[in-house]
Chains A and B, each alone.
Chain A
Amino acid sequence: MKKYELFDHTADIGIEFFGRTKKELFTNAIVALKDIMIEENEIKPLQGHGKKVAVEGADTADLLVNFLREVLYLFNGKRLITVSCVMTGFAARRLTAELALVRYRPEKHTVRTELKAVTYHGLSVVKEKTRWKARVIFDV
């Protein structure tokens, strides 16, 4: 099953994320961000560079936005690329996760697309027949 797909937005970038479960959708979204933002080749998760995060939200969609917001902050603010994610707790309005981070090095990593912020515009997280789907528009 594909993990994500881009959709058109005039000024910015829209991404649809998928997962068999809601929890998987959240994990896939993090991997998708890395794929979309960074050229893959040089990335190896650094040993011992895991980061625990706890995120809250008013509902599932808000929780997803806040989770993506945290990962974007790590890149845009700290120059850390989140390469993978293990969910350690997952409830309707709160999650905890362990992120594997790699420091961004311009000489090693090419920024494919700079996602500057996650927006709430046209945001949705829905269950379809066999999968969960989220639609999110990012500011670029």
Chain B
Amino acid sequence: MYDIKLEKLDDNRWLVPQTGAMRVPGIIYASDKTAGLLAKDESARQVANVAHLPGIVNFSLAMPDIHWGYGFPIGGVAAFDLESGIISPGGVGYDINCGCRLMATDLALDNVRERIKDLTAALYRRIPAGVGSTGYVRLSGKDQQKVLAEGARWAVQAGFGSAQDLETTEDGGCLGGADPEQVSARALERGREQLGTLGSGNHFLEIEVVQEIFDERAAAAFGLRKGRIVVMIHTGSRGLGYQICDDYLALMVKHQAETGIVLPDRQLACTYLAAQRGKNYLAAMACGANYAWANRQILMHLTREVFEKALHIAPRELGMRLVYDVCHNIAKIESFHVAGVEKKLCVHRKGATRAYPAGHEAVPVLYRSVGQPVLIPGDMGAGSYVLVGQEKAMNETFGSACHGAGRLMSRSQAIKSSRGRSISRELADRGVVVMAANKGTLCEEMPEAYKNLNDVVDVVHEAGIAKKVARLKSIACIKG
């Protein structure tokens, strides 16, 4: 199953040599601790497959949380020339703008310790989670068009949160070029009742506490203080994004032969960025991205309300504010230096986050002197990391870093090894209160199913593409 000979470049990077019809080599970020895992699945082959696509620039990249996906590996990053390059719906993924949102509070652990079970239960009651859950926000056709065109801006105008939240959301919570006309009736229908829902699978809402600070200056800029309570939300564009991806994937497979592009894997179905079909997909994808930002904005607002009510405190006492919101399944037109010349490229990030350095104009003004916050959640027991983007990412990874720990076990393996155990009890023993709509999800998502978060984050940190700012420890989690 594994026929690629990786060559070690340095302590944190492995080369996938250019062979056969590959247009560029691949580079996988991995340390001695994580590189061994690559032999367990097909992910290195997928890095090589992406390197076959027309117009790919420099390298087919994979972040240290790399694991076997379909088409692109999860953790894959690839940039394409706007004239000769392609756009691939599978390279973005089904859950368009799946991402993370971190909120800081003024609460100390002691303010919630005694109430954590009640608070978690209250969140679980208020935040719709699980298969096919529907939200409190029912959209009229006209409102839905606005959500797709305006994203989190619409949510703020509709009363969910404040304009300040938009300042620390990637792209201000609204990706340009969105055209609802390019979204199918099926996708619109699936999106109508799911705004303000968490969904299922690996999506979650976690209450965490800032456990350790590595970079005082960046932490101060991000408003992160040791011992304070924070909340992390991980979700995306729900059924609407899935349907957009699926519609365009089917369309591109149907017309693949016309493009003349030979693919090593049909899931990489694509078209040229310059082609009308490519433009249509980008316009529809932006709608999916905007829906996801509106979704996370609404969930943040609901969370804020639940905290105030459950803890009987005023908004000022709670002090909940958005640290940052990143997307990690997306394709974006961004500028980079290629062979010394600034060029606009289409960067696919499939399970990878942006990691822009200090001084970049896309970094919120509040953080411009330190760099963009990079949010990296781990498994349910491990908690999360906050990193800050570095200049090296602009030179090496098209301004990208990893998005999580990365799966290690298949879901059936996880279910097998959780047999006879109570995952929620085990997590409770580690100080994490868990509530889930589906017990099976807890087993599939058990901590051992993921790579060691510390090992993965160390690769990013040591490679210098993003630097550690803070470590967050989970204390409560709700899942679908």
- What is the interface of chain A, defined by CB distance below 8 A to chain B? 6, 8-13, 58, 62, 66, 69, 73, 76-77, 79, 104, 106, 111-114, 116-117, 119-123, 137, 139-140
Name the contact of A11 in the complex, choosing from B40, B69, B186, B190 (C-beta under 8 A).
B69
Given known pairs A8-B410, A10-B410, A117-B246, the reply for A76 and B68 (CB within 8 Å) is no
Count of A-B residue pairs with CB < 8 Å: 93
Q: A residues within 8 A CB of B189?
A: 77
Q: A residues within 8 A CB of B409?
A: 10
The 8 closest A-B pairs by CB, nearest first: A121-B70, A120-B266, A119-B70, A121-B267, A10-B68, A8-B410, A120-B267, A111-B131
Q: List 28 A-B contacts (CB under 8 A).
A: A8-B410, A9-B410, A10-B41, A10-B43, A10-B408, A11-B67, A11-B69, A12-B69, A58-B257, A66-B250, A69-B246, A69-B250, A76-B239, A77-B186, A77-B190, A111-B132, A116-B94, A117-B242, A117-B246, A119-B71, A119-B267, A120-B90, A120-B249, A120-B253, A120-B266, A121-B71, A122-B265, A139-B242
Distance in angstroms between the alpha carbons of A66 and B250 in the assembled complex: 8
Q: B residues within 8 A CB of A73?
A: 186, 243, 246
CB distance from B467 to the nearest CB of A (A): 28
Best-buried of B68, B70, B254, B411 by chain A (most CB within 10 Å): B70
Distance in angstroms between the alpha carbons of A13 and B477 in the assembled complex: 25
Q: B residues within 8 A CB of A104?
A: 132
Distance in angstroms between the alpha carbons of A139 and B267 in the assembled complex: 12
Inter-subunit contact B253/A58 (CB<8 Å) = yes
Name the contact of B407 in the complex, choosing from A11, A76, A121 (C-beta under 8 A).
A11
Q: A residues within 8 A CB of B94?
A: 116-117, 139
CB distance from B68 to the nearest CB of A (A): 4
Distance in angstroms between the alpha carbons of A113 and B41 in the assembled complex: 22
Q: A residues within 8 A CB of B245?
A: 117
- Contacting A at CB under 8 A, from B383-423, are 407-413
Cβ-based interface call for B200 (8 A)? yes
Which residue of B has the minimal Cβ distance to A12? B70
Q: B residues within 8 A CB of A139?
A: 70, 94, 242
Which residue of B has the minimal Cβ distance to A66? B250
- Contacting A at CB under 8 A, from B31-58, are 40-43
Distance in angstroms between the alpha carbons of A54 and B94 in the assembled complex: 24
